[in-house]
Structure formats: C-alpha cells, structure tokens
Amino acid sequence: MSMLRLLRFATVLLLTIVVSSYSMGDVLPDSIPVDRLFGAAVMVVRGEVKQVIAAEKRRAEWHGVPTVLTTYVVQVVPDKVYKGNPAAAVRIAYVRPDDRLCAVSACIQLKVGDFDYFFLDVGEQGFELNDPHFGKFRASRRTESRGQTGLDALKSDFVAGLDDPDEAVRLAQVELIGDSARKTDAEQLLRLLPAADALSRATILYSLLQLGDYSTLTSMRDFLEVPSNVPAIERLRFLSLSQINAISDAKAVDALIGLTQSSADDVRESAIHALRTIQSPKAIPVFIRALDDRVQFVRYDAVLGLAEIEHNWALAPAVDAFEADERKYTAAWKSWWQTSPGR
C-alpha cells in the first residue's frame, strides 16, 4: 500500500475509532436516517416505559463471547402513535447480555420511567426494536402535532422538543432533526445558537451541516480548529469535518475557501477536498496555494482539483504516480498558473 493510501486509511480508521468512542446518548454518529427508520417500522410510538420484566435467561454467545443472555419484556404506554394501530399498551421484548459485556458493545436497555420514541417490528413476544442501536431515542413530552399521525407529525414533534427543559432531551431532538433531512427545520436550530452552551452549539452546528445549511460554516472555524477535552464535543467536531469533507453544494464555495486558510490540518483537508468535489473555478487560486501545503493529502487534492476544473487529465496522476514524482505535477500546475490568462 502506498504511503498516501496508508495515511488516508489511517485517517479514516482514526475517525471511526474516535467517533465510536465519543458516542453519546441514543443517537449514534452513523445513525440511520429517520425516513428510513420510519419506513421500515411496523409501528412508531412515543411513550413511557411502565414495567420491565426479566422473562428468560439462557446461556449463549454475544458477539462470540459465551455469556448469559436475558430476555426482557417491557410494557410501554403510548403517548402518541405515529404509525400502526393505536393500543393502550405495547409490549416490547429485547435481549441483553451480562453488564460487563455491555461496557464494550452497545446493548439495549429500557428502564421504568424512560420516555422515548420507539421504532418497532413484530417479534416473538410482541414487538421488538427494528434496530438494536437506532430503534429508540429520547423523546420530549412536548408536541406540535396533536391529532396528527405520520412522518411529518413525528418530525414536528422533534422541533417541539427543542424547548424541552431537559438538556439531554433537547440535544437528542437536535440530532434527530439533523437525521430527519427536513431542511425547513434549519431555521429552528439557528434560533437556538445565540444562547447555546458549548455542547449545544456543537450539536446544532453538526445538525445544520447534515441538513445542508452552510450559513454557519464561516463562523465554525473556532469550533473546528481547537480539539476539545470534552469527548462529546470532540466527537461532534470529527463528525462535522466528515460532513464538510462531503459537501458538493456550490453555495458553500466561499465559506470553504475561508476554511482553507485554517491553521488546523484536518480543517484544510476537509475544505480542499470539498472544493475539489464542487469544481468551482473560484477555487483555482486556492488550489495553487495548496500545492505548497505541508500536508500531502492537501497537495494531492489540489492537483486533482485543478485537473478536474481544467480537464487536463495528463496532470491528474494516480496516487502512486504522484508519490513517485510529486514535484513534476505541482511544478507543472504552478507553471500553468504563471501563464494563465485568468490569473
């Protein structure tokens, strides 16, 4: 494996490890879009856990480790039914291993008093979560959709939950809105920013990027450039950089150009890669400057960005060719720039 490929692989691996380590609450970094969860569920309800019964214990394996698995049956009293037939109570069954194994792998746990959104399938003992990681989320008791059902009603209640007095509940709603893909809700997130603390601000900024709202991209530099000693915030910083890396909307070009001036290597990497994807001629001077960047990722993306804009495939090397004679390509593009009429 070439050094550049190895470094790219290491970066992706580090991002995966860091994000997984910093996961918080019920909403995970690679969470399934709300639309897909809703479509796959037989029933979607919001309600309170009233009773938890340990129904069965058996010896089995959990991710290859022998242990005792306990099947729990939970009674949930719905506050709202968004999909499926209304019921006075819903039985949900789930399996959980010995607690020490749950310290190293995600395990379902429902407790009396929990008030959640549940995405359910039919199981052997009633219903079961349709995904062990994404089948339930913290919910607010606030509502904007009285008498309404369906996906839009669910998303409206996410927005209502932004005013919940419980911070953990509010943050869960912010992440759910980011996963909901309803762009019109970006305005509701923006109104929270002026009074947001550091964790809330990081969560809102990430969710705005998920929704394709880049109005705060320029002001994100202070958040992106300085790693946090708060694990939840650092997780969101990594996730935000991943979102920026994947931007393909030309409306973000000016803000991305600003981020290429960052002192943080990972911020410049993400911004340059996004500009390469967008292929805007406005980024040509940025790519020229990036040919001298201290990070090889950035230099390589700059070379390819120039080649894609100018359709000069002779100066668009494969990774191995670039590593073998990097100066050949960077010097050629610098020479082109010196004689370019659009300079």
Q: How far apart are CA 160 and CA 35, in angstroms?
A: 18
User: SS3 for 96?
Assistant: strand
What's domain 142-245's superfamily in CATH?
Answer: Leucine-rich Repeat Variant (1.25.10.10)
Q: Give the tens place of pLDDT for each residue, 126-144.
A: 899 998 788 999 999 999 8
H or E segment and range at residue 274:
helix 265-278
Three-state SS annotation for 174-227: HHHHHHHCCHHHHHHHHCCHHHCCHHHHHHHHHHHHHCCCCCCCHHHHHHHHCC
Examine domains 142-245 and 249-338 and report if their fold is the same: yes
Q: Please report, in tens digits, the pLDDT of each residue of the chain (343 residues total).
A: 555 544 454 444 444 444 444 333 444 445 679 999 999 999 999 999 999 998 889 999 888 889 999 999 999 999 999 999 988 999 999 999 977 788 766 788 899 999 999 999 998 888 999 987 889 999 999 998 888 999 999 999 999 999 999 999 999 999 999 999 999 999 999 999 999 999 999 999 999 999 999 999 999 999 999 999 999 999 999 999 999 999 999 999 999 999 999 999 999 999 999 999 999 999 999 999 999 999 999 999 999 999 999 999 999 999 999 999 999 999 999 999 999 876 6
- As assigned by CATH, the class of the 249-338 domain is mainly alpha
Domain spans of the chain, in order of start: 31-139, 142-245, 249-338
How would CATH label the architecture of 31-139? Beta Barrel (2.40)
